[in-house]
Amino acid sequence: MPPPNDLEFRVRPARIEGTEPVSHSPAASVVPTTPAVGSVVRARLGTIARQGGLIAVIIALVVGFGAARPFFFEANNLMNVLLQASVVGILALGQTYVLLTGGIDLSIGSTVAVSAVCAGLFSQQTSPALAILGALAVGALCGLVNGLLITVTGITPFIVTLGTMSIYAGLALIIAGGQAVYGIPVPFEDALAGGIAGIPIPVVLFTVLTIASVLVLKYTLFGEYLIAIGGNAEVARLAGISVGRHTATAYVVAGAAAGLAGAILTARLGAADPTLGADLLLTAIAATVMGGTKLAGGEGSMAGAAFGAILIATLTAGLTSLNVQAFYQQVAVGAAIILALLVDQLAKRSRT
Amino acid sequence: MTDATPVLEARGLTKAFPGVVALSGVSFAAYAGEVHTLLGENGAGKSTLLKTIFGVQQPDSGSVHVDGQEVRFDRPSDAMRAGIAMVHQELSLVPQLTAVQNLVLGRERSKVGIVDWREARERARLALDRLKFDAPADVPVSALSVAQQQLIELARAVSTDARVIIMDEPTASLTSAESERLFSVIDTLREEGRAIIYVSHRLKEVLALSDRVTALRDGALVGTRLRAEVRSERDLVQLMVGRDLDALGVQGDTTPGDEILRVENVSVPGVVHDVSLTLRAGEVVGMAGMVGAGRTEFARAVVGADRRSAGDVRVHGKLVRINRPADAIAAGIALITEDRKHQGLALHMSTASNVTLMDPPSRFGVIGRRRQREVAAEWLRPLNTKMQVDQPVGTLSGGNQQKVVLARWLRNDSDVYIFDEPTRGIDVGAKGEIHHLMRQLAESGKAVLMISSDLPEVLAMSDRVVVMRDGRLVAELSREELSEEEVVRHAAAE
């Protein structure tokens, strides 16, 4: 590839006599430097404001609930909130990869169920490490099936994953024989539900995966291509990017994340419940969109998804501490989602 | 021409965006029965002015008057109610709806909520007939070509009773025959006493159509001239850019070298029939034809963007298997597509990401962001642009967006460059630069195919012209045989 300066493009139109030799660069003058810098700064500020907004709301919630129920401030309780957020958070990260491509994965809840059951059965047969890997593999396989169905047949992601949502849910029940798998060995439970230096392992995993995902999105070809595909699949295709392979990979990642979530749930509950799922799916999507990911694709934030999950967990835990009934909690969580996006809309409107 | 109160008048409009003044104190008046052309380079403020008049944006100061009365348009529907219609440069049709549905959209007549489609079809037919436009009115417009869609858009504006019709580059994607039809419609509209606000980069048609010309530069009014005060295209250019430009286009004087691309018997069912073509190093080959002749479809089939039912592609004499765009890129064939927004750019990604989309500078799958910005700037520099490479590409002007697409493909260093309508919707300054660039590529030993509906451009740029009609390649004209009449004769003959 030759450096472009070798070609001396004679693109500047010749001046005619009598005109001022001013540096009137033709079309180059179109975008002055100042607004460009301004808009970049504004774009950055937008992201910071959004993450900052979520964090501010989380802090406000903690302070509010803490004022009413002092035990809410205790490190123990706060860690518990993070633990609650971990499973949904890991799912939300996976879902973000898919949403970035402009797709959606409705089957992650059911994938959690299948993986949880498999993790439970594997744990009774083999070492914790292999059982966890097995659960990850099952999740990834579910994702691969989604990805291939979507990219090979061309059926829309919503429909494909609506179908597999039902299929995987059924499979979970079939594999489990219609009831929960009990008798999870203690070593397996310890491997995923234990702690490192007082921090629960799911929280550690959630944190590590969040940071990894932020970096993947920001610095890797995979992340760049997902954004390009979600932003404009035809452009990506004409630029020679293999759209199918990258899109399918996003579903595999989401599936693997669901596999991990399933294994964690089995370890934490000490049993594998084949009916898990529907709640997790919706909460994960809620966390994702709260974090600023667009359902239309091409735009999304991993950190946002993580903070979204923490916010929902904080709200739920706080309302529980206030003895608010579960029914009302559902209403509150739903309202919070709409409110978050409403604030977003208003902010956008005031900017233009 | 009248000196009465203008139908629509803007007084001292100012509009600032953070960091830039897009309009400063611009006044502008449109009179009944006149065509008033708005001139200016990309970014001169034409679009901002039109958007402000049409209620898409609110001015920071200044006012808009209709029949001398001050009005305030909070949204486009307010403007439409006041009798102003706009033909958008970017298509604003609903792709899934048919021509008929698009034409009556929002103005359907219904009985108890049931749309009277027979009446709607009649109304649509009337509007289309007026443009002497016979396109299938009952298929989704997404199945039509860009030019056909543009005509439907025009028909929609014309079919309203608007007293002021704003046309933002209506001929950008039309063939000369279609443009002629449009001009006769504009004449009729003028005779009916409507005011037309017209934006075009094609100076010839500006001279032919306008009663009044207003030029903007860097957001400020340069001046308004009556048609009689303008003698030539040169006057217009000077009014617009404050300097003179090279003559349109440049033909090369190098004799073409070795054959680089040989395409044999390419067919796409229903649109392209058995087209063969060779391109040699150092030449710019123009591809002319009416809209719908299958030129874009041919190019897309060559690079594997669409499936072809037959046809071989040879590069440097060697048969290459091309089934998808990635194969064409690997074989050294670049297609710079016509529709930037939909096929050229990922609009909310940064300029740097768009330039390096095909191969971001990376190591082990990790992108070097700093390197990426440097590379993007490096490839944009020779295109005579100064832009912030970490800005979302969607915020750039049309000319600069086109340069981002060009930079991407130049960086890839292909042997064959296929340009599909490379200067559509671009101002004269940028147009000249792109012409030079194509010539420069040819001179550095590349083969260039330029698909263009802009006949003067084809005539000025091409070393050789091929003409397509109804999916077939019907003529090949050497530079000696080349003339406007000859091209049109082949493109339109039946």
Residues of chain A contacting B442 with CB distance shorter than 8 Å = none
Tell which residue, A36, A16, A39, A40, has the closest CA to residue A28.
A36
Minimal Cα distance from A37: which residue of B? B388
Q: How far apart are the C-alpha atoms of A317 and A338, rounded to whole Å?
A: 19
Q: Is the pLDDT of residue B324 over 70?
A: yes
Q: Which of the listed ranges A40-44, A334-338, B232-236 does the model predict with the highest average pLDDT?
A: A334-338
Angle at A347 between CA A344 and CA A349, to 5 degrees: 110
Cβ of A24 and B381 within 8 Å? Answer: no
Position B253 scores a pLDDT of 59
The string of pLDDT tens digits covering residues B385-409 is 767 788 788 777 777 888 889 899 9
Are A43 and B385 in contact (CB < 8 Å)?
no
- pLDDT > 90: percent of chain A: 60
> What would the mean pLDDT of B102-121 be, rounded to a whole number?
79
pLDDT, tens only, B46-61: 888 988 898 888 888 8
- Strand, helix or coil at B112? coil
Q: Please tell me which of the candidates A32, A242, A298 has its beta carbon nearest to residue B348.
A: A298
pLDDT at B457: 85
Query: Would you state the pLDDT for residue B244?
Result: 47
Averaged over B13-42, what is the pLDDT? 84
B211 close to A (CB below 8 A):
no
The residue among B394 and B366 whose pLDDT is bigger is B366
Which residues on A lie below 8 Å from B324 (Cβ)? 237
Judged by a CB distance cut-off of 8 A, whether residue B237 touches chain A is no
pLDDT bin (cut points 50, 70, 90) of residue A142 is very high
pLDDT classification of A342: cutoffs 50, 70, 90: confident
Stretch A223-245: mean pLDDT: 89
Q: Are A305 and A95 in contact (CB under 8 A)?
A: yes
Give the mean model confidence (pLDDT) for residues B21-42. Answer: 86
Residue of B nearest to A297 (CA): B348
CB of B229 within 8 A of CB of B66?
no
The crossing angle, in degrees rounded to 10, of helices A326-351 and A33-68 is: 160
What is the pLDDT, as a whole number, of residue B387? 74
Confidence of residue A13 (pLDDT cuts 50, 70, 90): very low
- The C-alpha of A48 sits at a distance from chain B's nearest C-alpha, in angstroms, of 17
Residue A312's pLDDT is 94
Long-range Cβ contacts of A210-215 (<8 Å, 24+ apart): A210/A89, A210/A93, A210/A302, A210/A303, A210/A305, A210/A306, A213/A93, A213/A96, A213/A97, A213/A302, A214/A302, A214/A303
Q: Could you tell me the pLDDT band of residue B19, with boundaries at 50, 70 and 90? A: low
Residues 6+ apart with CB under 8 A from A65: A72, A314, A317, A318, A321, A322
Residues in B 137-196 with any Cβ partner in A closer than 8 A: none
Q: Which of A5-14, A304-313, B65-74, B462-471 has the lowest mean pLDDT?
A: A5-14
Residue in B with minimal Cα distance to A41: B391
User: Rg for chain B (alpha carbons), in Å?
Assistant: 23
- Contact call for A27 and B329, based on CB within 8 A: no
Tell me how far apart the alpha carbons of residues B224 and B229 are, in angstroms, rounded to a whole number.
Answer: 10
Q: In the beta sheet, which residues pair with residue B319?
A: B314
Q: What counts of helices (H) and strands (E) characterise chain B? A: 16, 24
Amino acid B129: pLDDT: 82
Give the residue from chain A lying closest to B301, CA to CA.
A238
Domain membership of residue A259 as a residue range:
86-351
Is the model's pLDDT at B425 over the cut of 90? no
Instruction: Judge whether A17 lies within some domain.
Output: no
In a domain, A198, yes or no: yes
User: Cβ of A9 and B383 within 8 Å?
Assistant: yes
d(CA A230, CA A97): 10
Residues of A in contact with B20 (CB under 8 A): 32, 34-35
State yes or no: pLDDT of B185 exceeds 60: yes
Coil, strand, or helix at residue B441? helix
User: Out of 3.40.50.300, 2.60.120.260, 1.10.10.60, 3.40.50.10440, which CATH number does the structure's domain B8-241 have?
Assistant: 3.40.50.300
ipTM over 0.90? The verdict is no
Domain ranges of chain B: 8-241, 259-492
Q: How far is A82 from chain B (nearest CA, A)?
A: 30
**CB-based contact A220 B367, cutoff 8 Å:** yes
* Placement of tokens 């950190």 in the chain: A303
Closest to A22 (Cα-Cα) out of B21, B400, B430, B242: B242
Answer whether residue A229 shows pLDDT above 80.
yes
Query: How high is the pLDDT of residue A29?
Result: 32
Please give the mean pLDDT across all residues of chain A: 85
Task: Indicate yes or no: CB of A13 within 8 angstroms of CB of B440.
Answer: no
For residue A246, give how far its alpha carbon lies from the nearest alpha carbon of chain B (Å).
Answer: 13
Question: How high is the pLDDT of residue B219?
Answer: 82
Segment B155-181, tens digit of pLDDT: 888 777 789 999 988 877 777 777 888
Question: What digits encode the pLDDT tens for the residues B467-493?
Answer: 998 889 999 998 888 887 788 778 875
* Mean pLDDT for chain B overall: 84
Q: Which chain A residues have a beta carbon less than 8 Å from that of B330?
A: 240
What is the Cα B355 distance to its own chain's centre? 21
Whether A54 maps to a domain, the answer reads no
Span A334-344, mean pLDDT? 84
Q: Report yes or no: B355 at the A interface, CB cutoff 8 Å.
A: no
Kindly list the residues from chain A whose CB atom is less than 8 angstroms away from the CB atom of residue B366.
219-221
B82 or A32: whose pLDDT is higher? B82
Length of chain B equals 494
Cα(B360)–Cα(B352) distance, integer angstroms? 9
Query: Which SS3 state, helix, strand or coil, does residue B9 take?
Result: strand
Interface A-B: count of C-beta contacts within 8 A:
201
Q: Are the Cβ atoms of A298 and B349 closer than 8 angstroms?
A: yes
Report the alpha-carbon distance of residue A335 to residue A324 in Å, rounded: 15
Quote the pLDDT of residue B93. 79
Count of structural domains, chain A: 1
| DSSP letter string, B312-323 | EEEETTEEE--S
Of A266-275, B212-221, B241-250, which gets the smallest average pLDDT?
A: B241-250
Q: Which residues pair with B259 in a beta bridge?
A: B280
Contact A128, A320 (CB under 8 A): no
Q: Say yes or no for a CB contact (<8 Å) between B324 and A237.
A: yes
Given a cut of 70, whether residue A45 has pLDDT beyond it is no
**Chain B CA closest to residue A351:** B18
Q: What is the pLDDT of residues B82-93, one digit of tens each?
A: 889 888 766 677
pLDDT of residue A30: 32
Instruction: Indicate the residue of B337, B360, B429 with minimum beta-carbon distance to A27.
Output: B429
> What's the CA gap between A155 and A149, in Å, rounded?
7
Per-residue model confidence (pLDDT) at position A20 = 35
CATH number at residue A144: 1.10.3470
Radius of gyration of chain A (CA): 24
pLDDT at B382: 80
Residues of A with CB below 8 A from B388's CB? Answer: 31, 33, 36-37, 39-40
Alpha-carbon gap, residue B20 to B23, rounded angstroms: 9
Which of A128-132, B117-121, B219-223, B362-366 holds the top average pLDDT? A128-132
Q: Do B386 and A28 count as a contact with CB atoms less than 8 A apart? A: yes
Across A122-146, average pLDDT = 96
Say what the pLDDT of residue A26 is: 36
pLDDT in tens, A91-106: 999 999 999 999 999 9
Helix (H), strand (E), coil (C) string for chain A? CCCHHHCCCCCCCCCCCCCCCCCCCCHHHHCCHHHHHHHHHHHHHHHHHHHHHHHHHHHHHHHHHHHHCHHHHCHHHHHHHHHHHHHHHHHHHHHHHHHHCCCCCCCHHHHHHHHHHHHHHHHHHCCHHHHHHHHHHHHHHHHHHHHHHHHHHCCCHHHHHHHHHHHHHHHHHHHHCCCCECCCCHHHHHHHHCEECCEEHHHHHHHHHHHHHHHHHHHEHHHHHHHHHHHCHHHHHHCCCCHHHHHHHHHHHHHHHHHHHHHHHHHHHCCECCCCCHHHHHHHHHHHHHCCCCCCCCCCCHHHHHHHHHHHHHHHHHHHHCCCCHHHHHHHHHHHHHHHHHHHHHHHHHHC
- Residue numbers of B between 57 and 116 with CB closer than 8 Å to A: none
User: What pLDDT is attached to residue A47?
Assistant: 63
- Give residue B474's pLDDT: 92
Residue B348: list chain A partners with CB under 8 A: 231, 298-299
Q: In this predicted structure, what is the pLDDT of residue A8?
A: 38
pLDDT at B484: 78
Asked if A228 and B346 come within 8 Å (Cβ–Cβ), the reply is yes
- State which residue of chain A sits closest to B322, comparing Cα positions: A240
| Distance separating alpha carbons of residues B230 and B213, to the nearest angstrom | 9
pLDDT at B32 over 80: yes
Superfamily (CATH H level) for B259-492: P-loop containing nucleotide triphosphate hydrolases (3.40.50.300)
Of the pLDDT bands very low, low, confident and very high (cuts 50, 70, 90), residue B139 is confident
Count the neighbouring beta carbons within 10 Å of the beta carbon of residue B293. Answer: 27
Contacts of A42 in chain B (CB under 8 A): 18
Is B324 an interface residue toward A (CB < 8 Å)?
yes
Query: Which range has the top average pLDDT, A72-86, B228-242, B378-392?
Result: A72-86
Mutate to test the interface with B, among A1, A10, A11, A22 (most CBs of B within 10 A): A11
- Indicate the SS3 state at residue B306: coil
CA distance B150 to chain A (A): 22
